[in-house]
Amino acid sequence: MQATADTNGRSPIVRAVDIRKRYGGVRALDGVSLTVNAGEVFGIIGPNGAGKSTLFDILCGITKPTSGSIEVLGHDVGQMSPHLVARAGVGRTFQRTAVFGEATVYDNLLFGRHMEFRHSVVGRMFASRTWRTEQKQFEDKAEYVLTLSGLQEDRDRVASVLAYGVQRRLAVAVALMSDPKILFLDEPAAGMNGRETADFIALIETIAPGRTVVIVEHDMTVIKALCSRVLVVVDGHPVTIDAPGEVFKHPEVISAYLGAEDD
């Protein structure tokens, strides 16, 4: 299937061509092509086991495809290690919230940023000028991200005591510390109640301008509220790429979802 073009004249920031992935005898992905345009919020949906997480991990450079090419921000991520993909401006969150439960919200933000930098031990021990300058930049950045993500009131609370939805918000905030040009969100609303989902939608609406966002999500409320286009994957095949309100008119999408309900 050919990827549909964006009608707003925005340039592609992700180009995936004919992605295939096998796990032994399992064909997890079978010929997926897509483009995501700069500034777009793009969704990936499909029934359980369709191949969404596999595609997501391939687009982020975590998993290598069996064949096919993936370019993100002009980089061939199929040939890059995950940390180099991250340094190129790709941020991501994980299906399971990955924050440090015993650390405060603020320390989670600082730690997320420090992980990416290589200070010499001597530089740290003697608090060199470079180290102090970077530390100040991290702290300023953390204050900005706290405000952006509405976490100021939770700044000094340890992450483990936060409500689940707030922990997921923190996971996005940690990803924002490296100022990613493109942010991949893996089932961000999974397990959230209605209020948390609404807050989460508002958060992504706040941070999306000036960035590109790719979301894998089961919750169609989130997809409809945020995404301009959605790829539907069924059994590893790309079925359609269209506006969220259009994809459920596609017969193969209807039958895949109805079949999934019967399971």
> Is residue 93 a contact residue for ligand ATP (CB under 6 A)?
no
Shortest distance in whole angstroms from residue 139 CB to ligand ATP: 37
Tell me the three state secondary structure of residue 87: helix
Out of 46, 65, 89, 112, point to the residue binding ligand ATP (CB under 6 A).
46
> Is residue 68 a contact residue for ligand ATP (CB under 6 A)?
no
Name residue, tokens 């919200």: 105
Shortest distance in whole angstroms from residue 193 CB to ligand ATP: 20
Shortest distance in whole angstroms from residue 216 CB to ligand ATP: 7
DSSP annotation of 170 reads H
Compare residues 30 and 134 and give the one whose CB is closer to ligand ATP: 30
Beta strands in the chain (DSSP E): 12-23, 26-37, 41-45, 67-72, 75-76, 90-92, 182-186, 212-216, 229-234, 237-242
Out of 1, 5, 8, 23, point to the residue binding ligand ATP (CB under 6 A).
23
Q: What stretch of H or E contains 236?
A: none
> Is residue 53 a contact residue for ligand ATP (CB under 6 A)?
yes
Out of 54, 93, 108, 167, point to the residue binding ligand ATP (CB under 6 A).
54
Q: What stretch of H or E contains 51?
A: none
> Is residue 263 a contact residue for ligand ATP (CB under 6 A)?
no
In the sheet that holds 212-216, the strands lie side by side as 90-92, 182-186, 212-216, 41-45, 229-234, 237-242
> Is residue 26 a contact residue for ligand ATP (CB under 6 A)?
yes
Shortest distance in whole angstroms from residue 121 CB to ligand ATP: 37
> Interface with ligand ATP by CB under 6 A: which range of 5-13, 44-52, 156-164, 220-228?
44-52
Which residues neighbour 43 within 8 Å (Cβ) at sequence distance 6 or greater?
A: 214, 215, 216, 217, 223, 226, 227, 229, 230, 231, 244
> Is residue 177 a contact residue for ligand ATP (CB under 6 A)?
no
Q: Would you tell me which residues interact with ligand ATP (CB under 6 A)?
A: 23, 26, 28, 46, 48-54
